[in-house]
Amino acid sequence: MDLQINQNFVDEIRERIEAEKFLLNEPMKEHTTFKIGGPADYLIFPSSIDEVAFIFHTLGKYGIPFVILGNGSNVLVLDRGIRGAVIKFDSPMSFIKRNDVRITAGAGALLQDVSNFAVKNSLAGMEFACGIPGSIGGAVFMNAGAYDGEMKSIVEGVRAVSPKGEVTEFEVDDLDFSYRHSVFQKNGYAVCEVELKLIPGDKKNIEEKVAGFTKRRESKQPLEMPSAGSTFKRPEGYYAGTLIEQTGLKGFAVGGAEISVKHAGFVVNTGGATAKDVLELIRQVQQRVFEKNGVRLFPEVRILGEAE
């Protein structure tokens, strides 16, 4: 892999960003839920919207490409890693605040934490998100959903930064939400803050609904193993996991990547899996499901970086 370190860029970023928040040649397997992925040239953890704007402006000045990560779920980083910069949101861009029926959360806040915060404040409408393993920024980017709920039903506004470093407010009508899609997949803006509008509810009823979803998730999904979450988008009229299971592929493996024996919709890392293993497994699943059922499966997981 050909690392591309620009010392002038490094020096300029280090004038503003703390050393522990700016890493060089960092293995991305340490920062994704799949535990797979080669090194990124730069990995930067911004602490504020102003820092995001500064970082983007500086990246543009030196012509350095970048990608944005939340919790590192729902992504597969390829084995040669990522050329350019990875911007990853965690603390302190993980705040959660309430204003009446609205919750404002930093992009790095875990969706599960925001959902729990809503429960504690007797706010309904976010129960579906209690088990989605990502950040709220990533959830908006993907219009994440589960149990017949999705982000577009609760997001009221987003504060984001453009690739040029301009802070912009997005209202709900600007977000172009559809199935696993938002405007941010096209415009390159980084989601930095999200405002949700919920409804007052009975705390006990909300808790019971969350407990029910949690029980379903824990009983059916391979939470004990590294994965990127659900691997394939749901084809219209079908469930990807059901099609894969009906094709006899539960437990089917390529290298360290395996179709989960607990839920066929998940590819898991059984230990030492490479991105190459995962891609080949995905390819074979797509081929075999199409041959048996005539249905094409498409990955839901984002694929980032350079292949071998």
Q: Which two tokens stand for residue 227?
A: 């994965």
Q: Can 182 be counted among the known catalytic residues?
A: no
Residue among 94, 159, 180, 182 flagged as catalytic: 180
The reply to whether omega before 65 is within 30° of 0 (cis) is: no
Please tell me the distance from the alpha carbon of residue 89 to that of residue 46, in angstroms, as a whole number: 7
Residue among 230, 234, 258, 260 flagged as catalytic: 230
Please tell me the distance from the alpha carbon of residue 217 to that of residue 90, in angstroms, as a whole number: 25
Task: Check: CB of residue 32 under 8 Å from CB of residue 228.
Answer: yes
Residues 37, 231, 85, 168: what is their CA dihedral angle, to the nearest 10 degrees? -160
**In angstroms, how far is the first alpha carbon of the chain from the final one?**
9
Q: Can 180 be counted among the known catalytic residues?
A: yes
Strand order in the sheet with 190-197: 96-99, 102-106, 190-197, 155-161, 167-171
Q: Can 300 be counted among the known catalytic residues?
A: yes
State the DSSP code for 112: H
Give the ranges where the chain is alpha helix by DSSP (H): 7-14, 49-61, 111-120, 136-142, 184-187, 203-220, 240-246, 275-293
Residues catalogued as catalytic: 180, 230, 300
